[in-house]
Amino acid sequence: MRRIRFLYGWLLFVCFWNVKYAEQVGAQVSAEDEFEDFLSSIEADYYNFEDSINRNFADYLEQAWQVFTVYEGTEPPVYADVISSGETKAGGWLQPDDSFFGSSLHFPSMGGEKWSLSDLSEKEVAAGWRKLGSEDFTAFFRSYMEYSRQFNLNDWGNYLLLKYASRQWNPSLSCEQTLFLFYVLSNAGYKAKIGRVEKDVLVLLLSFEEEVYKLPFIRVDGKKYYVMDFSSRQLKKLYTTVSDYPKAEKSVSLKIVSALTFPEKLVGREFTGKYSFSLSLNRNLLDFYATFPLCDLSVYFGAVPSEAFGKRVDEIVKVHLAGKSELGQIAWLLDFVQQIISHKPDMEVHGTEVYYFPEETIFYPYADCEDLSVFLAWLIYRYMASEVLVLYYPAHVAVAVERYEEYRGATFKFRNKEFLICDPSYRGAVPGKVIPACASLKPVIVSYSKQKK
């Protein structure tokens, strides 16, 4: 990490060098000599700067940690009140020997002797931070960044990638893995904390940009830090520090703003009925989605599916849209979603609320109103120029699109534009109709602006 910081310093120096020495062609002292001298001094400065930050933070970790109350994870809004039991969403949580969503990755060794924590005291954790700080992470972070670019990872993917690396670094010692993950996430700029539960468990805590549900959390200066990978629902308190690593300035975002590029492991879905077709999906990407903590629906409405998935859907959809008016295209997309995906409330299928990304909605046998709305919104984003609004009723989600000239039904106004409701959960409902239970209700209207994909 120190040498990576130095490279940034070197680039800044090159800019300074070009200005200062452009016209000094006849200088008495060799420019190359001055460059080498200045390079050495900058390198020393950066080494001292990085060492100083790590030493000071290790000293801080050595101080007594404070006790924090752990709050139960916030429950998500439930969009159907039907309770029974059933299948659960497929999981993709990584195991120590698994590939990283279809790829076997190797991180370079950082050298040095393997070590373990003798206990989980503040003093021992600080000593572990110092040992990590003495390692050269240059090659490790280079590999991490190359893999991140290779898969076009978002922040959540970067977290999983570093978690995967922690298992390679120390495959058998979980508390040491947690400390390693805390160290590399902090140095990568993410706001993270390490906490102690009782006397025998270290846990990682992360700050998220979006609202996250079901995960336990603590509050520090009004900000939530979520407890990761700890299954006990009886957790009432833990010990940690108030301050984060000084250079950790960003929270983990769950947004997927560009398509992820995992290797393809294809699984097929067959559809029969009014629209008969087959569709292949990437199992590795579905497994990645399954790792997501349940979070604000804005993440799902704004997600960009894989390019391969988009092209496969194009082959099915475009032929049906050709030659239709704009209203006809909207009506067809609405009917398409209503016909091919069976609606069932999450509580009936899973026993709990879950949210799906577009590929998940079309892969799993049943979907709820919010999942169908996410999928329909993506189709409209992809094939139409219309703005999409999301309509949140007390126990239901639908979408709305801008009114088209040939439409003669009921509309509503939002920001001086007229919109018509499209309800993908209500099979047979044409544009302008919503399920009868919501017909007299006023929804919360949200616009998740995004560029057309």
Phi, psi (rounded to 5 degrees) for 296: -55, 140
Give the pLDDT score at 96. Answer: 46
Instruction: Catalogue the long-range contacts made by 296-300 (C-beta closer than 8 Å, 24 or more residues apart).
Output: 296/210, 296/211, 296/212, 297/355, 297/370, 297/374, 297/390, 297/397, 298/210, 298/446, 298/448, 299/210, 299/254, 299/255, 299/256, 300/355, 300/356, 300/357, 300/370, 300/371, 300/374
Asked, for residue 168, whether it belongs to a domain, the answer is yes
Q: Give the integer Cα–Cα distance in Å for 306 and 55.
A: 43
Q: Which tokens belong to 123? A: 């003093």
Pair (161, 198) in one structural domain: yes
Pair (202, 92) in one structural domain: yes
Q: Is the sign of the CA dihedral 432, 434, 439, 441 positive or negative?
A: negative
Asked, for residue 261, whether it belongs to a domain, the answer is no
Pair (177, 270) in one structural domain: no
Pair (235, 335) in one structural domain: no
Pair (210, 314) in one structural domain: no
Torsion, Cα of 149, 155, 161, 165 (10° steps): 110
Pair (271, 395) in one structural domain: yes
Contact criterion met (CB below 8 Å) for 123 and 62: yes
Asked, for residue 68, whether it belongs to a domain, the answer is yes
Phi, psi (rounded to 5 degrees) for 337: -65, -45
Give the pLDDT score at 1. Answer: 45
Listed as ranges, residues in the chain with pLDDT below 70 are 1-50, 80-97, 111-112, 232-233, 450-453
Give the pLDDT score at 233. Answer: 67
DSSP state of 91: P
pTM of the predicted model, to two decimals?
Answer: 0.85
Which of these, 325, 253, 340, lies nearest to 292 by C-alpha position?
253
Full DSSP string of 147-169: HHHHHT--HHHHHHHHHHHHHHH
For 387, how many CA atoms within 13 A lie in the half-sphere containing its CB?
13
Give the pLDDT score at 251. Answer: 97
CA distances from 391 to 52, 156, 363, 399 (A): 52, 27, 24, 5
Pair (274, 199) in one structural domain: no
- What are the tens digits of pLDDT across the range 419-439? 999 999 999 999 999 999 999
Q: Which CATH number goes with the domain that contains 391?
A: 3.10.620
Residue 245 parent element (H or E):
none
Which of these, 136, 112, 111, 191, lies nearest to 4 by C-alpha position?
136
Q: Give the integer Cα–Cα distance in Å for 366 and 371.
A: 10
Give the pLDDT score at 232. Answer: 67
Which of these, 325, 12, 2, 31, lies nearest to 138 by C-alpha position?
2
Instruction: Catalogue the long-range contacts made by 373-377 (C-beta closer than 8 Å, 24 or more residues apart).
Output: 373/301, 373/397, 373/398, 373/399, 373/424, 373/425, 374/297, 374/300, 374/301, 374/303, 375/337, 375/341, 375/424, 376/333, 376/334, 376/337, 376/422, 376/424, 377/301, 377/448
Asked, for residue 37, whether it belongs to a domain, the answer is no
Pair (231, 324) in one structural domain: no
Residue 66: beta bridge partners? 240
Pair (318, 409) in one structural domain: yes
At residue 68's C-alpha, the angle toward residues 209 and 95, to 5°, is 60
Q: Give the integer Cα–Cα distance in Å for 48 and 263.
A: 41
Domain that holds residue 101: 61-240
Phi, psi (rounded to 5 degrees) for 71: -95, 145
Asked, for residue 108, whether it belongs to a domain, the answer is yes
Pair (271, 382) in one structural domain: yes
- What are the tens digits of pLDDT across the range 18-65? 433 344 334 444 555 655 554 455 444 544 556 788 889 999 999 999
- If one counts the domains in the chain, the total is 2
Q: Give the integer Cα–Cα distance in Å for 339 and 25.
A: 75
- What are the tens digits of pLDDT across the range 190-212? 999 999 997 789 999 999 999 99
Give the pLDDT score at 15. Answer: 40
Give the pLDDT score at 4. Answer: 43
Residues 6+ apart with CB under 8 A from 292: 156, 254
Contact criterion met (CB below 8 Å) for 364 and 356: yes
Residues 6+ apart with CB under 8 A from 370: 79, 297, 300, 355, 397
Asked, for residue 48, whether it belongs to a domain, the answer is no
